[in-house]
A and B are shown apart, each in its own frame.
Chain A
Amino acid sequence: MNKTTLYTLKSLYRDDFRVTGYEFGSGKKSVCIVGSSRGNEVQQLYCCSQLIRKFRQLEAEGRIAAGHKILVLPSINPCSMNIQKRFWPTDNTDINRMFPGYCLGETTQRIADGVFREISEYQFGIQFTSFYMPGDFVPHVRLMDEGFSCPETARQFGLPYVVIRRVRPYDTATLNYNWQVWDTQAFSLYTTSTARIDPNSAGQAVLAVMNFLSRQDIIKYTVPGGLRSRVVNDADLISIRTAKSGIFVPMVKAGDTVEAGQPLANILEPYEGDILETLYAPLPMTAFFVHNEPLTYADTAVIKLIES
C-alpha cells in the first residue's frame, strides 16, 4: 500500500485541504474508486475505508494480480465533512458538478481538475455517491445511457440491480460522466444510506467491488455464487408520489417486496394526527427507494418501486 497526497489546497486559518489516495498493486491503471465528494457522504467514506482494509490484506497475501494498479480515494472533500455541510464551505458549490475541472478557475473547479488529473485514464472508475433527495436505496449500480459502460459489465458487481440513467444536462459535469468522456468505464455505486453508516449495505458494497475485481481478474478472491442483477432503465421505476404535505410514516423498508394494493406509507396531518392520505403499491414490486425524513412535501416521489 502506498498512501499519497494527490492534491493540496492551502487555507487561511484551517489545516491544508488534502485529497489522499491509497494505491495497491502496480502496473497499468486498472481501477479507481472514489468515496465521498459531499460533506454528508459518510457511508461512502466508510465503504472506502472497509475496501482499503480489505485491499491491504489482499496485497499482503499476494492476491492482487500482477500488472494492475488500484487507487482508492476515501474522500475528495474532507473540508466539508469536518463542518457537516454537504457542499463546499465558502461558496456552497458541489465538487461533483465541477468535472473535469479547470486549473485556472474557481476553487472547486481547481479541486476537480487536480483530482481528475490523478484519477482519469483508469480502465474502470467506481464512485460511491448519493441522491439529492434524502432516502434509503436498495444497493445498486448506476451507469449513464450515453458512454460505453456496459450493463453486462455492471452485472459483475453482483448487486440486485443495474440502473441505466438517461443523461440530463446537469449530469455532464459529474465525475461519472467525465470519466467516460476520457475513456474510463464508470459506475456509480449506491448503498442504502448516506449521512449515517449502514454496516450491512456497506458490507454488501465492499463485496460487490470484490466480486467485480475478481471477475476482471484484478484480484484473487473467491466469490460465492453471486446473483444475476436485473437491468432496469430509470424511466421504468414507478414513483409513488404524495398528494399532500405532512408527516411521513413509511410502512415498508427499501428492499421489501410488496403486493398490489399493499399500503406503503401514510401522510399525517402534522397538528391533529389524522391520516391525510395512504399511498398504495399499484403492482407487486420491490421498494427500491424510500424517503427517510419525517416530513414530506406534496408532489414528492417518496417511494420508488422496481420490478422484483
Chain B
Amino acid sequence: MIKKVASVGLPVDEVLEIRKNRILPERHGGSGKRISIVTGIHGDELEGQYVCFELQRRLEGHRECLEGIVDIYPAVNPLGIDSITRGIPAFDLDMNRLFPGNIDGSMTEYVAARIIEDLAGSDCVLDIHASNIYLTEIPQIRINELHQDILVPLAEAANVDFIWVHGASTVLESTLAYSLNNIGTPTLVVEMGVGMRITQEYGNQLVDGIFHLMKKLGIWSGEAAPVRKPIISRNPEDVCYLNAGVSGLFVPVAEHGARLGRDALIGRIVDPLCGKVLDEVRAPEDGMLFTIREYPIVVEGSLMGRLLKKEVCGYE
C-alpha cells in the first residue's frame, strides 16, 4: 500500500511527495515487527533502487512467510534523483546533513522531520547508499562507534563483506542514521557499488542479507540463504587511504577487491596532453583493495582507493 510520508507544494504547478510502500503480512497477528528500507538521500546514488525492487519481487513470491511489516522508501530525495543531483537541488544542501529536521522549519527541514517521524520505532532501518560517483565500494555497513553494541550484531546478519566501525564526529550528528540511532531506532548505513549505476550482483547479495535479517528479527519465516562472515574493522589504522599526489587521469591496473602485496601496482596517473606517466599508485601495505576510483579524472588529493590491511582481512 502506497503511503504519503510528506508532501509540499512547489512554486509552479507541482507537488513534491515522498512516498513509501508498506507491505503487510497476509494474516493478522504476526510479530508486529517492522523493517524499513530507505534509499535515495543522495540523489545520484542508485544502487538502492534495485534493492527496493528486487526485495519486493522476492517477497511477492512468498507473501505467506511475511510475519511483520516491510516499509520501502525508495526516494527520500526525489528532486535529487530526477536531476542527477547528490544534494537537494536549488538549495545545494546535502540532505544527510539536515536531520533530525524541524517540523516547523523550512521545506527541507520539514521533510527531514517527517521522514524521521515515519521511520521512528522501526526494529531496523537500512539506509542504502552507493558511495558517490567517484568511487566503487564493496558491500559494507558503516557504524558510528557510539552505537556499535546494538548495530554490529544486526550488521553481521546483513550479508555484507565488511563492517566499518568509525569514530564519532560532530558533523555526522546531522545524518539520518545518527538521528535515528540517537532515538533508539537501530539504523544501518549500507555503502555499496558506485553512484549513477546499479551493480546487480551487490544488490542481490544485500537482498539475501535483508531476508536473513528479517528472519532474525521475526519478520520472515520463509527461506533465507546463509550469509557471509564480514570483516570487522574498529581501528582507524586498519585502513590505508590512497590519495592522488598529482592531478591527472587515473588509469587503474588492479581489480576492485583484489588482495595485493606491498608495492603492487594499483594504477597510474597519466597526462594525456604530454603522453607521460605522472605517478604510479602502489599498495603501501599488504591488503585488500575495498575501494577503487571509478571516475578517472583526479585532482591532487582525490581519493583513488582504500586498502584494508591483510591482518584485518584474515586471508592467507
Contact surface of A with B, Cβ cutoff 8 Å:
9-13, 86-87, 90-92, 97, 104-110, 132-133, 168-170, 172-173, 241, 244-247, 270-271, 295-301
How far, in angstroms, from A188 to B105 measured CA to CA in the complex?
Answer: 24
**Do A172 and B107 touch across chains, with their CB atoms under 8 A apart?**
no
B229-249 toward A: CB 8 Å interface, digit per residue (1/0)? 000000000000101001111
Cα(A92)–Cα(B86), bound, Å:
9
The stretch among B51-59, B60-68, B170-178 that forms the contact with chain A is B170-178
Which residues of A sit under 8 angstroms from B50, Cβ to Cβ?
none
Interface presence of B183 (CB below 8 A): no
CA distance A202 to B207 in the complex (A): 57
- For residue B230, give the distance in angstroms from its CB to the closest CB of chain A: 26
- Interface pair B243/A104, CB less than 8 Å apart: yes
Least CB distance from A277 to B in Å reads 12
- Say whether A105 contacts B248, CB under 8 Å: no
Instruction: Output the nearest chain B residue to A8 by Cβ-Cβ distance.
Output: B300
Among A12, A170, A246, A247, max chain B CB count under 10 A is at A12
**Pair B249/A12 contact, Cβ less than 8 Å:** yes
Taking CB as reference atom, which chain B residue is nearest A9? Answer: B300
User: Is B301 within 8 A of A170, CB to CB?
Assistant: no
Instruction: Decide: B11 and A297 in contact? CB cutoff 8 A.
Output: yes
Q: Mark B263-304, 1 if CB is under 8 A from A, else 0.
A: 000000001010000000000000000000000010111110
CA distance A295 to B11 in the complex (A): 6
* Chain A residue with Cβ nearest B8: A298
Alpha-carbon gap, A132 to B90, bound state (A): 11
Q: Is B92 an interface residue (CB 8 A)?
A: yes
From residue B282, how far is it (CB to closest CB) to chain A in Å?
Answer: 16
Q: Are A173 and B11 in contact, with the CB atoms below 8 A? A: no
The answer on a CB contact under 8 Å between B297 and A246 is no
Query: Is A169 a contact of B171 with CB atoms below 8 Å?
Result: yes
Residues of the A chain whose Cβ atoms lie less than 8 Å from the Cβ of B92:
86-87, 92, 132
Residue in chain A with minimal CB distance to B90: A297
Q: Measuring CB to CB, which residues of chain B are less than 8 angstroms from any residue of chain A? A: 8-13, 86-87, 91-93, 97, 105-107, 110, 132, 134, 170-174, 241, 243, 246-249, 271, 273, 297, 299-303
How far is it, in angstroms, between the C-alpha of A125 and the C-alpha of B136 when the chains are bound?
40
User: In the complex, what residue of chain A is closest to B110 when comparing beta carbons?
Assistant: A299
Cα of A137 to Cα of B205 in the assembled complex, Å: 52
When C-beta atoms are compared, the residue in chain A nearest to B303 turns out to be: A106
Chain A residues whose C-beta falls within 8 Å of the C-beta of B249 in the assembled complex: 12
Chain A residues positioned under 8 Å from B110 (CB to CB): 299
| Residue from A13, A92, A106 whose CB has the most chain B CB atoms within 10 Å | A106
State A91–B248 Cα separation when bound (angstroms).
15
User: What's the Cα separation between A13 and B298 when bound, in Å?
Assistant: 11
Output the nearest chain B residue to A111 by Cβ-Cβ distance: B301
The residue in chain A whose Cβ has the minimal distance to the Cβ of B271 is A12
B247 touches A10 (CB 8 A): yes
| A residues near B13, Cβ cutoff 8 Å | 270-271
Q: Is the CB of A173 within 8 A of B301?
A: no
Do B299 and A296 touch (CB < 8 A)? no
User: Nearest 3 A-B pairs (CB), nearest first?
Assistant: A107-B301, A295-B11, A245-B11
Complex contact A10–B246 (CB within 8 A):
yes
B9 contacts across to A, CB distance below 8 A: 244-245, 298
Which B residues are CB-close (under 8 A) to A104? Answer: 241, 243
Q: Which chain B positions have C-beta within 8 A of A295? A: 11-12
Contact of B301 among A13, A97, A109, A300 (CB under 8 A): A109
Are B106 and A90 neighbours in the complex by a CB distance under 8 Å? no
CA of A239 to CA of B173, assembled, Å:
25
A265 to chain B, nearest CB (A): 14
Q: Shortest CB–CB separation between residue A145 and chain B, in angstroms?
A: 15
Most buried by B among A11, A104, A107: A107
A97 and B94 CA atoms in complex are apart in Å by 12
Shortest Cβ distance from residue B189 to the other chain A in the assembled complex, whole angstroms: 17
Are A12 and B248 also in contact (CB < 8 A) when A107-B301, A132-B91 are? yes
Given A9-B299, A106-B243, do A170 and B97 touch, yes or no (CB 8 Å)?
Answer: yes
Query: Which residues of A lie under 8 Å from residue B243 when comparing CB positions?
Result: 104-106
Contacts known (A13-B273, A172-B171, A300-B106); A106 close to B302, Cβ less than 8 A: yes
Q: Tell me if A107 and B106 are in contact (CB < 8 A).
A: no
Contact of B107 among A11, A92, A105, A299 (CB under 8 A): A299
Q: Which residue of B lies closest to A294 (CB)?
A: B11
Q: Which of A10, A105, A169, A271 has most B Cβ within 10 Å?
A: A169
